[in-house]
């Protein structure tokens, strides 16, 4: 266990009383609570964190937060292993395990490093120019294995993810000086405000760089506002919450980090992440700015870091990233890093500034710390394998010399974090003075403030945040009750000198560290005319890595601009996309997993089926019994037994998922005539009629029976898959097309359970159950309806049949269905009654040749295809009628509905087999079998299908293509069993 030789004795926000033991790359280390994995490793002197994607170059930390490009690790193990996590964003906890990625066998000795030796041959886009012969497959396997960084876990993700919706008046994103000033301005205004901060504490840059606001230190000021917020019921602070997306109409998507691997493993109730969807009326984007690296030769060696990140490690974590530092900058800000390093006990051996004129106060400050300043100079190269050890400085008079160092802190300026602004639809402008893209005006209801708006001083941030909030409050009718915070006077900042690329030097000058894209690649891109930023990006893969170009985009397009002679502004940026930082796929599912994922629907008598040992399947989103196998029975045997029993005795079937809709009003009949392909208005009260519904293309979308309950009242039934769909369909026509019809549509599907009692013994069983309905064939004929009591319960009974036997479809109030089920089952025992599942039911109707919409028909089948040409005789218009008159729908060679009988008696034709015909062009499909099975009653196979020419081909022998070879079949009447329907009318 190495000790923390680079930990400062005091300072920082780490808790030295709570040491933490963790493991990285097979070694064990110690850190403190409050560390990130990155800061703790840095404290232990670790400099090598990973290997770059393409060239496997040794890499170290470049940043301290979300902008980190190099230090990706595989966190955790087994089912809790997470690939590609930024070490700078992992809050350290005891027992943490992490591994470096993209290296083998180890970080220190990586075989992939050979890529670095041949890197000259692996320029951007090289793979488009080769790997073609003999074909790509020869090379692909190797490329795929070499690509990718982390490993996906192989066990199921055990973590819990939550979701929350929230509304607020004003959302403030970011709690640096601008965000806090904005939040502060809203306190006591009455507005509901959410302050969203991705760090674990509020303050932002105030935690790293000193400031004086309202006569106190920046950190105290931040904590003071934080406490005021926490105490107010109208204010909500979310920390450890990244605002990752800005969508339409001011909706923000946030990702809150809750538990870590250890906490979640210990208690499954602890969520790992929470996805928020926040709707705000106004938004203030105080998202800060991201520092830019400088592009110079050898700028990617481990421990060459962003200057602001160096300060962050010193101030937040009390970690010294190096003892002998060189600063390389084009701006004043990096001088603060020199001061911080020097005050922490490091030696700053050189401060290299590209500007030839240094601000006098800075020059003085450096002199007083014995820090040599080289104005008008640049670093043009570096040395070092597993860590930087020297930098080559070229001075203003063109001399160059090497200087030993163990840390280089670079700053090329700052780019405002405009991601959310752009996601919201905002347009950017280019600020020449600060050499960065800034938000141009507003986007939706968002205002930008502080560094996010290109305003880099504390006083600008504070006043900008305050004013933005005052404006936002005013738009909503609230008022701010306090003045702008008072900031201590700040020094006059000298403008930066944009330097997009420092030429000279032998090593590669990197622009995108993660994808190993160098200046040479950009030059190549320009040379080959991939000059638009999007082409540049896609050709070189710049900006496409896990960091999505946070530290590389602006440098890249500026370099391209200089190569093409265009302005940076006209070169533009690539598109900023959701999410700002990557997020686990599981966070989108939230709690909608397992039983809560696309919930299944159940009949009110579901428990009865379970008790009967039903085998369940998913039928259109309903979990229904396919059959009720007895012990030792195969599913198929159960299906046949149930079907046979129905014809010999009786069966009871749960038809609750069938759609039931009441259509009520003086125009009910007229309306149904428009909706159905056949006429319903002539239906007499108490009678039932089967109907087909079409869409405007003339295609059958549903079928079912309609019952006239009264002059102005119909009960229509839909298929079980159509319950919701058809009710919506009816409403749509009434509300959008025929507004003058006086009709109400009331879906009642879930109000009623349905038990269908069917078979020759059905009447006897129903009588035994007890009913006041006259069940005689004359009083209660087929296709009619009665209301009455069964087993003392008020029910609706339709005499309709899908099995071809005497059938009573009993509609019972859902809450009483289980009770009625028991009564019927009890009364049926002596008669041999069996429960029938969906498959047995389907076998019965197939024997009868009854249509199954969506099974025998598809999205192209019209009524003319299934023998319903009489619908065209209907005088009045109906939905789909005009399409039936079209030429295509009148053709005689369309697929038509028929029955098929295998020529060989022992053959059961399989469902979905094609009917084939030999044509000049080859063998073609002439149709297919849509329903089929073995009929236990007829003791042979039965089949229905669609064949070109339909029932014009009655009697013809055709060929069926089955897995067992070609089988012959005769085209027959679909009704194989009781074609005259005598059993129906019993």
Among 11, 112, 440, 584, binds another protein (CB under 8 A): 584
Among 598, 873, 905, 939, binds another protein (CB under 8 A): 598
Instruction: Name residues contacting another protein, limited to 713-752 (CB under 8 A).
Output: 728, 731-732, 735-737, 739
Secondary structure element (H or E) that encloses residue 731, with its range: helix 723-736
Instruction: Give the shortest CB-814-to-another protein separation in angstroms.
Output: 21
Decide whether 239 or 582 has the Cβ nearer to another protein: 582
What is the spatial distance between Cα 355 and Cα 361, in angstroms, rounded to a whole number? 15
Instruction: Give the shortest CB-813-to-another protein separation in angstroms.
Output: 23
Q: Determine contact, residues 871/884, Cβ cutoff 8 Å.
A: yes
Decide whether 244 or 462 has the Cβ nearer to another protein: 244
Decide whether 296 or 414 has the Cβ nearer to another protein: 296
Site string for another protein, 98-137 (x = CB under 8 A): --------------------x-xxxx--xxxxxxxx-xxx
Among 925, 954, 957, 966, binds another protein (CB under 8 A): 925
| Angle ∠(148,152,156) on CA atoms, nearest 5 | 165
Instruction: Give the shortest CB-237-to-another protein separation in angstroms.
Output: 23
Instruction: Name residues contacting another protein, limited to 849-868 (CB under 8 A).
Output: 855, 858-860
Among 202, 913, 942, 947, binds another protein (CB under 8 A): 913
The helix-helix angle for 668-675 and 723-736 (nearest 10°) equals 110
Among 585, 611, 778, 955, binds another protein (CB under 8 A): 585
Q: How far is CA 169 from CA 177, 250, 478, 547, in A?
A: 21, 11, 10, 32
Decide whether 569 or 978 has the Cβ nearer to another protein: 569
Write the DSSP symbol of residue 490.
-
Site string for another protein, 688-707 (x = CB under 8 A): --------xx-x--------
Site size toward another protein, by CB under 8 A: 126
Q: Determine contact, residues 300/508, Cβ cutoff 8 Å.
A: yes
Decide whether 176 or 941 has the Cβ nearer to another protein: 941
Among 636, 877, 918, 956, binds another protein (CB under 8 A): 877
Instruction: Give the shortest CB-579-to-another protein separation in angstroms.
Output: 7
Beta-bridge partner residues of 98: 24, 75
- Give me the DSSP letters along 279-301: EEEEEEE---EEEPPP-BBTTTS
- Asked if 152 interacts with another protein (CB under 8 A), we say yes
Instruction: Name residues contacting another protein, limited to 39-78 (CB under 8 A).
Output: 53
- Asked if 401 interacts with another protein (CB under 8 A), we say no
Instruction: Name residues contacting another protein, limited to 415-434 (CB under 8 A).
Output: 425
Instruction: Give the shortest CB-402-to-another protein separation in angstroms.
Output: 24
- Asked if 357 interacts with another protein (CB under 8 A), we say no
Instruction: Give the shortest CB-275-to-another protein separation in angstroms.
Output: 8
Stretch binding another protein (CB under 8 A), from 215-223, 291-299, 393-401, 885-893:
885-893
- Asked if 573 interacts with another protein (CB under 8 A), we say no
Residue with tokens 């309950």: 709
Q: What order of strands is seen across the sheet that includes strand 390-394?
A: 378-383, 390-394, 400-404
3-class secondary structure, 163: strand
866: Cα within 13 Å, side-chain hemisphere: 26
Instruction: Give the shortest CB-306-to-another protein separation in angstroms.
Output: 22
Instruction: Give the shortest CB-922-to-another protein separation in angstroms.
Output: 8
- Asked if 893 interacts with another protein (CB under 8 A), we say no
Beta-bridge partner residues of 213: 216, 487
Decide whether 217 or 912 has the Cβ nearer to another protein: 912
Using DSSP bridges, classify how beta strands 235-238 and 193-196 pair: parallel, antiparallel or unpaired: parallel
Instruction: Give the shortest CB-747-to-another protein separation in angstroms.
Output: 9
Instruction: Give the shortest CB-589-to-another protein separation in angstroms.
Output: 4
What is the spatial distance between Cα 59 and Cα 147, in angstroms, rounded to a whole number? 17
Decide whether 18 or 725 has the Cβ nearer to another protein: 725
Of 148, 149, 12, the residue nearest 71 (C-alpha): 149
Of 677, 722, 957, 977, the residue nearest 850 (C-alpha): 977
| Encoded tokens for 568 | 């940076």
- Asked if 579 interacts with another protein (CB under 8 A), we say yes
Decide whether 236 or 883 has the Cβ nearer to another protein: 883
Using DSSP bridges, classify how beta strands 965-972 and 688-694 pair: parallel, antiparallel or unpaired: unpaired
Among 233, 594, 632, 965, binds another protein (CB under 8 A): 594
Cα maximum dimension of the chain? 116
- Spell out the SS3 assignment of 506-558: CCCEEEECCCCEEHHHHHHHHHCCCCCHHHHHHHHCCCCCCCCCCCCHHHHHH
Decide whether 348 or 902 has the Cβ nearer to another protein: 902
- Asked if 504 interacts with another protein (CB under 8 A), we say no
Instruction: Give the shortest CB-300-to-another protein separation in angstroms.
Output: 19
Q: Is omega for the bond preceding 105 within 30 degrees of 0, making it cis? A: yes
Instruction: Give the shortest CB-150-to-another protein separation in angstroms.
Output: 6
In Å, how far from its chain's centre is CA 210? Answer: 41
Q: How far is CA 305 from CA 88, 91, 327, 356, in A?
A: 13, 20, 10, 23
Q: Determine contact, residues 481/497, Cβ cutoff 8 Å.
A: no
Instruction: Name residues contacting another protein, limited to 949-968 (CB under 8 A).
Output: 961
What is the spatial distance between Cα 975 and Cα 970, in angstroms, rounded to a whole number? 13
Instruction: Name residues contacting another protein, limited to 240-299 (CB under 8 A).
Output: 245, 247-251, 253, 277, 279
| Encoded tokens for 149 | 């960084």
| Residue 905, Ramachandran bin (φ over 0: left; ψ between -120 and 50: alpha; else beta) | alpha
Site string for another protein, 613-652 (x = CB under 8 A): ----xxx------x--------------------------
Instruction: Name residues contacting another protein, limited to 157-216 (CB under 8 A).
Output: 157, 159, 161, 165
Q: Determine contact, residues 284/444, Cβ cutoff 8 Å.
A: no
- Asked if 869 interacts with another protein (CB under 8 A), we say no
Among 227, 491, 593, 789, binds another protein (CB under 8 A): 593
Decide whether 356 or 724 has the Cβ nearer to another protein: 724
- Asked if 883 interacts with another protein (CB under 8 A), we say yes
- Asked if 233 interacts with another protein (CB under 8 A), we say no
Instruction: Name residues contacting another protein, limited to 531-550 (CB under 8 A).
Output: 532, 534-535, 538-539, 541, 544-546, 548
Among 520, 569, 712, 978, binds another protein (CB under 8 A): 520
| Residue 468, Ramachandran bin (φ over 0: left; ψ between -120 and 50: alpha; else beta) | alpha
Instruction: Give the shortest CB-696-to-another protein separation in angstroms.
Output: 6
Q: Is omega for the bond preceding 25 within 30 degrees of 0, making it cis? A: no
Instruction: Give the shortest CB-569-to-another protein separation in angstroms.
Output: 15
Q: Determine contact, residues 664/649, Cβ cutoff 8 Å.
A: no
């Amino acid at each position: 266990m190495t000790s923390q030789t680079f930990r400062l004795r005091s300072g920082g926000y780490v808790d030295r009383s709570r040491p933490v033991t963790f493991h990285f790359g097979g070694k064990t280390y110690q850190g403190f609570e409050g560390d990130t994995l990155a800061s703790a490793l840095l404290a232990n002197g670790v400099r090598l964190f990973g290997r770059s994607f393409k060239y496997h170059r040794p890499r170290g930390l470049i940043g301290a937060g979300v902008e980190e490009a190099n230090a990706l690790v595989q966190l955790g193990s087994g089912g809790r292993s997470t690939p590609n996590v930024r070490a700078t964003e992992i809050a350290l906890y005891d027992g943490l395990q992490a591994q470096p990625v993209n290296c083998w066998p180890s970080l220190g000795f990586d075989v992939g490093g050979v890529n670095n030796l041949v890197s000259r041959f692996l320029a951007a886009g090289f793979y488009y120019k080769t790997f073609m012969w003999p074909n790509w497959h020869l090379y692909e396997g190797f490329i795929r294995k070499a690509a990718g960084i982390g490993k996906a876990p192989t066990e199921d993700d055990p973590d819990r993810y939550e979701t929350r919706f929230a509304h607020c008046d004003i959302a403030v994103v970011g709690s640096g000086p601008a965000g806090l000033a904005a939040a502060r301005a809203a306190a006591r205004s009455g507005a509901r405000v959410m302050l969203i901060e991705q760090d674990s504490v509020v303050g932002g840059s105030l935690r790293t760089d000193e400031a004086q606001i309202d006569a106190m230190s920046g950190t105290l000021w931040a904590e003071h506002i934080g406490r005021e917020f926490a105490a107010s019921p109208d204010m909500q602070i979310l920390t450890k919450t990244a605002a990752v997306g800005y969508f339409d109409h001011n909706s923000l998507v946030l990702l809150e980090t809750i538990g870590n691997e250890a906490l979640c493993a210990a208690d499954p109730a602890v969520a790992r992440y929470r996805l928020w969807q926040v709707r705000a009326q106004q938004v203030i984007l105080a998202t800060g700015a991201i520092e830019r690296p400088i592009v110079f030769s050898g700028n990617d060696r481990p421990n060459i870091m962003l200057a602001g990140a160096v300060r962050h490690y010193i101030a937040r974590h009390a970690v010294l990233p190096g003892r002998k530092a060189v600063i390389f900058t084009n701006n004043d800000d990096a001088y603060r890093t020199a001061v911080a390093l020097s005050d922490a006990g490091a030696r700053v051996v050189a401060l290299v500034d590209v500007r030839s004129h240094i601000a006098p106060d800075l020059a003085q400050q450096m002199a007083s710390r014995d820090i040599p300043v080289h104005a008008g100079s640049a670093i043009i190269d570096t040395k070092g394998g597993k860590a930087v050890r020297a930098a080559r400085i070229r001075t203003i008079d063109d001399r160059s010399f090497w200087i030993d160092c163990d840390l280089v802190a670079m700053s090329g300026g700052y780019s405002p974090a405009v991601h959310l602004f752009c996601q919201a639809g905002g347009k950017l402008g280019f600020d020449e003075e600060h050499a960065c893209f800034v938000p141009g005006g507003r986007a939706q209801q968002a205002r930008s403030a502080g560094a996010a708006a290109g305003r880099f001083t504390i006083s600008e941030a504070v006043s900008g945040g305050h004013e933005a909030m005052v404006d936002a409050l005013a738009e909503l009718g609230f008022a701010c009750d306090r003045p702008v915070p008072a900031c201590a006077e700040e020094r006059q900042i000298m403008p930066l000198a944009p330097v997009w690329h420092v030429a000279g030097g032998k090593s590669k000058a990197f622009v995108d560290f993660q994808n190993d894209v160098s200046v040479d690649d950009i030059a190549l891109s320009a040379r080959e005319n991939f000059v638009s930023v999007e082409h540049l990006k896609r050709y070189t893969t710049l900006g496409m890595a896990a960091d999505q170009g946070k530290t590389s985009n602006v440098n890249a397009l500026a370099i391209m601009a200089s190569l093409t002679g265009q302005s940076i502004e006209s070169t533009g940026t690539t598109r900023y996309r959701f999410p700002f930082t990557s997020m686990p796929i599981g966070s989108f599912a939230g709690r909608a997993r397992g039983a809560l994922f696309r919930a299944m629907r159940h009949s009110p008598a579901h428990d009865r089926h379970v008790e009967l040992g039903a085998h369940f399947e998913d039928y259109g989103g309903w979990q229904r019994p396919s059959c009720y196998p007895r012990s030792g029975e195969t599913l198929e045997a159960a299906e046949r037994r149930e079907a046979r029993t129905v014809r010999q005795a009786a069966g009871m079937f749960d038809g609750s998922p069938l759609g039931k809709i009441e259509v009520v009003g003086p125009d009910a009949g007229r309306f149904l005539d428009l909706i159905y392909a056949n006429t319903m208005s002539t239906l007499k009260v108490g009678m039932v009629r089967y109907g087909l519904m079409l869409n405007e293309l003339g295609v059958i979308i549903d079928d079912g029976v309609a019952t006239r309950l009264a002059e102005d009242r119909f009960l229509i039934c839909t298929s079980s898959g159509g319950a919701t769909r058809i009710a919506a369909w009816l409403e749509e026509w009434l509300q959008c097309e025929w507004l003058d019809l006086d009709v109400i549509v009331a879906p009642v599907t879930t109000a009623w359970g349905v038990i269908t009692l069917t078979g020759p013994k059905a009447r006897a069983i129903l009588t035994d159950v007890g009913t006041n309905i006259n069940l005689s064939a004359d009083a209660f004929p087929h296709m009619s309806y009665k209301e009455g009591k069964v087993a003392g319960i008020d029910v609706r009974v339709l005499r309709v049949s899908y099995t071809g036997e005497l059938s009573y479809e009993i509609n019972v109030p859902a809450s009483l269905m289980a009770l009625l089920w028991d009564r019927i089952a009890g009364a049926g025992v002596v008669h041999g009654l069996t429960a029938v599942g969906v498959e047995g039911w389907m076998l019965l109707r197939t024997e009868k040749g009854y249509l199954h919409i969506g099974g025998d028909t598809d999205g192209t089948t019209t009524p003319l295809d299934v023998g319903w040409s009489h619908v065209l005789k209907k005088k009045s218009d109906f939905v789909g009628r005009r399409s039936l008159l079209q030429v295509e729908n009148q053709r005689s060679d369309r697929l038509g509905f028929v029955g098929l009988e295998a020529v060989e008696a022992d053959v059961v034709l399989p469902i979905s087999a094609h009917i084939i015909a030999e044509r000049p062009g080859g063998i073609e499909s002439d149709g297919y079998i849509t329903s089929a099975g073995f009929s236990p009653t007829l003791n042979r196979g039965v089949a229905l299908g669609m064949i070109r020419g339909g029932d014009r081909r009655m009697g013809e022998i055709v060929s069926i293509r089955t897995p067992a070879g070609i089988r012959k079949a005769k085209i027959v009447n679909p009704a194989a069993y009781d074609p005259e329907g005598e059993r129906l009318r019993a």
